[in-house]
Structure 1
């Protein structure tokens, strides 16, 4: 038993060390110098595209933020799934209150049955743009853009070696729900990995319109379940890079229960399975580390049941050291991200003692959830997103099973709950 326990601690230590390298690379990218300022007249005309199905918890704030960007020439293009959608009235009311004229709101008309509704919405909006636009930015409705968001995404695109600029989502949980904590922890690992691998996030990204058209992404989006996953490969084929912009790490303050969290992570991992060439490596890492965690817990229970107190204390101490090592890494990354968020004047709520205690418990729980959702993503042949089911036969073989407008009854009663 002692030999097996030592082997398991060796595996867990190796994963902690591996994670340290990822974190150091992430922190290095977060500490890059701010891009140089550019005079307004040199900034290209931009289109910001927001696709909607359902009314996200902070939708009105999202739209207001996009209407007041510190950018000289831009128009906001909003595509709502249908005029029956609860988002339709919220969007139009927000625009009327702002008396904004640089915005267009259209229902989704060019709906494809071979891709996600978001993909259809983005393709419809892009095809409607004339040649006066040079840059296109995309944003998700769970993001509230700070005033310089668009400017910060566009300026690095002045370097023609860069095909896309991107930030990422950072969950800030306040309720301490288990689903919110697990999603936060899982996303932290995902963000660190994505940033070090130059993987773009479609919820906050900008590209030159010419690159977008030449890359073949519009065609790919009409055959894909994911919008952001195909971007990196398409740009690499053109000899272009994706640049991570640390100042556009976007806080998300929505909450979710454990069931919604499981569905969310499964959808994210399904996209990874379909489009990420490193999928098998990810699976191997997840299962190896999870098996080590599970076997460590099993050994601890066996030692306790046999009255081997010394062995049990050794195993418990080693496992506690692993959890604390992960927690220290988490605190380090959290502080780096919060510094960026606070620099924009946005608030961040400190963790309470209870929240910190629950987070320690949530670390091994997240490990188990990760393994379960990887299995789910491997087995998934049909996925549901906001009331629409898609049949998945392959990366480029997607079928929207049946369309129906988003139902108001699907809106959570709690206005802070993610859709």
Structure 2
């Protein structure tokens, strides 16, 4: 038994070291060079007129800060088109209030979503409507989510890389850094850290912060793709590939999200994110392989440990236990490597991640195995999901280009759907 335990322990450690290798690659080959390139080009005078598109359904926790941040941009020439679900939506009043108090230059246009399409999500319907209303002189379209709080140079940062004619899309991502360290919020942050690495390596767009030339947006067929899509960023990469353009991931556009969530919400959130990945990303096959390997390692470890205990082989049991603790330590090191790199990226704009205490480090160490098991279960679920509820609306997913909104219901207040509906989704 001891020889089997030794072989299994070595395999487990090699798996953990490989995961750390991806984290190191993200930090050393993507984030730090990206920070250097940003500093090199930050003073380039590339600032065409931009149209920022924001879709709202319900009040996100930081919506007011998001709108204020958009109005406080250092960018010279831009407009903000806000499409709200309906005039009774509480987001309408928030947007109107911010506009009346802060919009001295009349940059924001607030419009109601008209005739939502039954063949796509409400968010995609909003973007289709917004693109038809952008200024004729606008050269860049920028997508932003309601849970993104932009700093003063955010718009400059997302537009500037488009000065390279080979770049079709500029994108960032988000890092969850919750103010309260409750279990659900930390668990989501841990899972998202792994998703962030995979997204950056595979150059998959994130519509929370995303810039596209207006001409490319219109000529690529992306607007038509949105008309049959459940998620806004899913079809972007394929649309730009049709034009021979690439996706540029800029680590300086990693946005810090300090929102909270419950443990119950995490399962729904992760399943939905993995469902979007299944529908739109060819790399989902790799996600399935990764989840299967995690499941096999976990099941094998548990099986061997029980067998060693039942047979009274305490050296083998001790070896298996210590190898799992060491492997978990390697996973903690991987997460820490990514976190430090993200901290360096956000520090370039004067932002920061909270200082982690020893008790928080212990919490992360304890939750890492839970996070991995959550990933396994949610991946299995995402493979079979054909219906998703998103902000109170149910969508049937027949195929990548066939989505059915079961029934539209105007958003009235944040209590008409579960209280978590407006968390960062």
- Give the TM-score normalised by the residue count of structure 2: 0.93
- Identify the match of residue 153 of structure 1 among 155, 158, 183: 158
Partner SS for 2:60: coil
Over residues 363-388 of structure 1, what are the superposed CA-to-partner deviations in whole Å (9 max), with x where a residue is unaligned?
A: 11011100110111111111000100
Deviates more, 1:85-94 or 1:157-166: 85-94
1:60-75 counterparts in 2 under 5 A?
Answer: 60-75=64-79
CA distance in 2 between partners of 1:24 and 1:347 (Å)? 20
Equivalent of 2:245, from 237, 240, 247?
240
Gaps of 5+ in 1: none
Q: Aligned match of 2:97 in 93, 98, 103?
A: 93
Q: 1:164 aligns with which of 169, 185, 197?
A: 169
Deviation of the 1:267 alpha carbon: 0.7
Residue of structure 1 aligned with 2:56, choices 52, 56, 68 = 52
- Give CA-to-partner distance per residue, 1:242-301, whole Å, 9 cap, x none: 111111110000111111111111111001111111222220121112220232134324
Q: Specify the alignment match of 1:29 in structure 2.
A: 30
Q: Is the 8 A contact 1:182 1:261 kept in 2?
A: yes
Query: Which of 241, 244, 264 is residue 269 of structure 2 equivalent to?
Result: 264
| Alignment partner of 1:254 is 2:259 | yes
Task: Tell me how far apart the structure 1 counterparts of residues 44 and 279 of structure 2 sit (CA, whole Å).
Answer: 42
Q: CA RMSD in A?
A: 2.0
Aligned residues: 418
TM-score (normalised: structure 1): 0.95
Q: Secondary structure at the match of 1:43?
A: coil
Matched, 1:9 2:9: yes
Task: Tell me: CA distance 1:382–1:311, structure 2 relative to 1, closer, same or farther (3 Å).
Answer: same
Match of 1:389 among 356, 374, 394: 394
CA distance in 2, matches of 1:198, 1:418: 22
Q: What residue in structure 2 maps to residue 340 of structure 1?
A: 345
Would the alpha carbon gap of residues 363 and 410 (structure 1) be closer, same or farther in structure 2, given more than 3 Å must change? Answer: farther
Shift of 1:204: 0.5
CA distance in 2 between counterparts of 1:377 and 1:135 reads: 34
Partner of 1:83: 87
Match of 1:192 in 2: 197
Distance in 1 (alpha carbons) for counterparts of 2:286 and 2:19: 14
Partner of 1:320: 325
- CA distance in 1: counterparts of 2:275 and 2:67, whole angstroms: 29
**Do the aligned residues in 1 keep the contact of 2:51 with 2:135 (CA within 8 Å)?**
no
State the partner residue of 1:174: 179
1:55 is paired with a residue of what secondary structure? coil
Kept in 1, the 8 Å contact 2:200–2:249? The answer is yes
Return closer, same or farther for 1:414/1:271 CA change in 2, 3 Å cut-off: closer
**Are 1:408 and 2:424 matched, yes or no?**
no
Which consecutive residues of structure 2, in runs of 5 or more, have no partner in the other structure? Answer: none
Q: CA deviation at 1:361?
A: 1.3
Per-residue CA deviation, residues 210-258 of structure 1 (Å, 9 max, x unaligned), is 0111111111111011211211122122111111111111000011111
SS at match of 1:408: coil
Alignment of 1:371-386 (within 5 A): 371-386=376-391
Is the CA contact (8 Å cut-off) linking 1:38 and 1:155 kept in structure 2?
A: no
